[in-house]
A and B are shown apart, each in its own frame.
Chain A
Amino acid sequence: MPPLLSFFLRRILSIPISLLIITAILYSFMMMTPAEERASLYFPANMAHMTEEQMVRYTELIIERHHLRAPFPVQYGEWLIHLVSGDWGWSPTLQGDVLAYLLRRTSVTIELTLYTLLFFIPLGVLSGVLSALHRGQRFDRIFRGTSFTATSLPPFVAALLLMAFFYVSLHWFPPERLGIQSSLMVGTDQFIPYTGLMTLDGLLNGRPEISLDALRHLVLPVVSLSLFYWATLGRVARVTMLEELNKEYVIAARARGIPERRVIWRHVFRNVLAPSLTSSALMAASLFTGAFVIERVFNLKGISEMAMSLISVPDAPACLGFAIYSVIIVLVIMLVLDTAQAMLDPRLRQGLLST
């Protein structure tokens, strides 16, 4: 089996293990509620007609049926089986199936995160590399100044300022997901959401103006979310590039007469890509937090909207569902970035280099 494939399989298998650890911890906290209260989750809608004694007997019946007094491993195992088979519980606040609710809103979050990754990773690496190549000159100084400001500017502040300038003053890039015209078109029956991502669905449905509109609405969220990560990645790339340029193989390549351009872009650049992606993989969880904040600021109807309705309301299944779902998203992002890293640097495929 080629090492890249075995690396990918090993990383995919580590996702369930991480999930097991996290769900065990989260579920054990939720389990601390006494059984009677957890039984109330299974009550039907109208219970007013029951007397006190009937209520007690009904609660006991539910506790027996759902094993609410069984030891922790038994309850945890049952809950895991429900989770894997798609039954994530029913949320009293949202009045709906938790997983269905989450899936309906994922596409917005995925679209935002995907475009952010596609935007800041190439730009960040390129800025860092170019800055290292022109060390001390104007580009480097500009980059270092702006990247420092960007790392200190919280995403919501950047979002507010950009929105105030580009939307309120200039009316170039509006917030929310689609304009009025496009959302009317999307709401009709003729529009089939193949992927859920508006930018792709517009093209797939033969209506490129919807894609363009979605892109136009995405500009501000993506830019304000990317700012921080672009700056961090750029700085890491710059330092890595400076270190690589001092290595001996560069001197050897130059001594052999290889043109400078080829030395830099074909040899040194490849070695810079992998360590840069390491820092991105570590920031995957913080990227989710950032996406959450940006969704709230721009009023995009992603997962964050479901979460905000849960703030002061006791709703254990929805909260657990949200937590596990976001962990899955973060783990998938980490998997993608790690695989991309392994594709770029063969030393990582067999664990020869500690990242």
Chain B
Amino acid sequence: MQRVTPVNQKFEPQPVALQRHFFRRWQNVFALILVLFFVLVALAADVLAPNQDIFWPSDLQWADDPLGALPHPPNRQTLLGTVVARMHRQVDIYTVLVHGTRSAFRFSLMVVLPTAFIGILVGALSAFFGGVLNMAVLRVIDALMALPVIVGVFFINQLLLYSKGDASVIPTIGVIRHAPIAPWLSSLLERVDPVMLALVLFSWMPYARLTNTMVLRTRQTDYVEAARALGANSGRLLWNHVLPNSISPTIILLARDLGGMVVLQATLTFIGLGGGSDWGWVLAISRNWMVGTFADLVAHWWLFLPPILALVMFGVSWNLLGDGLNDWLNPRGA
């Protein structure tokens, strides 16, 4: 007996839709579980790794390593082993990884939410009020998309350098302290992380493009025209009718970017541009034992495998979640 599709399937209440589409694919469930795992680790970081200090107490001596210059495999006290940051300072990898989840979430949320906000705002407003303004804004957005993110990081770094005071060594070009902007703004800018600011300033373009396309499409639908005919003003139209129906691709992009920003943060920390990623920092200091003079991939497995797994699994979880959302919100024949 064939299963008859009910006529009013599109009026399904949300929980049923979730169960029918989203949880059917095992990848979506897996992604959700992974994401929840990372959230739990981040929230329970103090409980899971009670020792807040990532540097192993310097009075601890190893018998075969009195100087503390070698990394040590997992043992009873350091669950995932240690790596050497500098002489006598061993870093407990487990604590770094667990607390790194917190800094990862903090970073990604603080970067992605303002980025999406700016992008959606610019894209929706310019598409809504259309015409020549929209074409000009789109042109500017396309031009700005040619600026790579890393160049933006260098540029913002340069802007936020404060004057050195002594003009004897190198001519100083410190912009923010002397710029003609309000003092509260300049003090705020001096304290913000340049990498975060650069990522926000140079990553909002895809959101704007997407929202632009979607709002242009939604603007011409019947229900918006009907609402306008009933007397709704622009703000109400935008907020109640146009926006809710045009942000679904943006949500997918947001989910993917939450993972992507953490990976980008780890990359920037690894090359030395800052960003404060604990996972990237651990990989940077473990580099000598992976490729270098004392390299031995198998013997030093605890140095790179846990951080890489943490980083990749974080990215995988948000990627899968984005894919699942894409599948759910934009179903396609293929």
Binding site for B on A (CB under 8 A): 17-19, 21-22, 25-26, 29-30, 32-34, 37-38, 40-41, 43, 92-93, 148-149, 151-157, 160-161, 163-165, 167-169, 239, 242-243, 246, 282, 284-286, 288-289, 292-293, 296-297, 307-308, 310-316, 319, 322-323, 326-327, 330-331, 334
* Those 7 A-B pairs whose CB atoms lie nearest each other, nearest first: A18-B143, A40-B171, A32-B179, A242-B334, A21-B143, A288-B148, A152-B315
Q: Which residue of A lies closest to B292 (CB)?
A: A168
Chain A residues lying within 8 Å of B170, measured Cβ to Cβ, are 92-93, 313-315
Q: Which residue of B lies closest to A40 (CB)?
A: B171
> Are A310 and B154 in touch, CB under 8 angstroms?
yes
The residues of B that contact A152 with a CB separation of less than 8 Å are 259, 263, 312, 315-316, 319
Q: Which residues of B contact A157 (CB under 8 A)?
A: 283, 308, 311-312
Stretch at the interface among B98-106, B159-167, B234-242: B159-167
Q: Are A293 and B267 in contact (CB under 8 A)?
A: yes
Tell me the dominant secondary structure on chain B's binding face: helix
Cross-chain contact of A160 among B144, B180, B291 (Cβ < 8 A): B291
Q: Are A22 and B149 in contact (CB under 8 A)?
A: no
State in angstroms the CA–CA spacing of A286 and B161 once bound together: 25
17 contacts between A and B (CB under 8 A): A17-B139, A32-B181, A33-B175, A34-B178, A37-B172, A37-B178, A153-B312, A154-B311, A156-B283, A157-B311, A160-B291, A164-B291, A311-B273, A312-B157, A314-B158, A327-B151, A330-B147
Q: What are the residues of chain A within 8 A of B267 when measuring CB–CB? A: 154-156, 293
A160 touching B290 in the complex, CB below 8 Å, given contacts A93-B170, A311-B157, A315-B158: yes
Question: What's the dominant secondary structure at chain A's contact region?
Answer: helix
Q: How far is the CA of A167 from the CA of B297 in the complex (A)?
A: 11
Extra inter-chain contacts (13) besides given A93-B170, A285-B147, CB under 8 Å: A21-B144, A25-B144, A33-B175, A37-B171, A154-B311, A154-B315, A293-B270, A307-B154, A312-B161, A314-B158, A314-B174, A316-B158, A330-B148
Q: Is the CB of A323 within 8 A of B157?
A: no
- Taking CB as reference atom, which chain A residue is nearest B158? A319
Q: Say yes or no: A168 contacts B291, CB within 8 Å.
A: yes
Chain B's closest residue to A354 (CB) is B213
| B163 → chain A closest CB, angstroms | 7
> Inside 8 A of B295's CB, which chain A residues have their CB?
164, 168
Interface contact B164-A148, CB-CB below 8 Å: no
Q: Tell me if A21 and B263 are in contact (CB < 8 A).
A: no
CB of A329 to closest CB in B, whole Å: 9
A154 proximity list for chain B (CB < 8 A): 263, 266-267, 311-312, 315
| CB-based nearest A residue for B168 | A48
A319 to B153, CA, bound (A): 11
Residues of chain A contacted by B291 (CB below 8 angstroms) = 160, 163-164, 167-168
Question: Within residues 83 to 123 of chain B, which ones have a CB less than 8 A from any CB in chain A?
Answer: none
* Set of chain B residues within 8 Å of A151, measured between Cβ atoms: 319
Closest to A154 in B: B263
**Could you tell me if A156 and B179 are in contact, using CB atoms closer than 8 angstroms?**
no
Smallest beta-carbon distance A227→chain B, Å = 13
Is A164 within 8 A of B297, CB to CB? yes
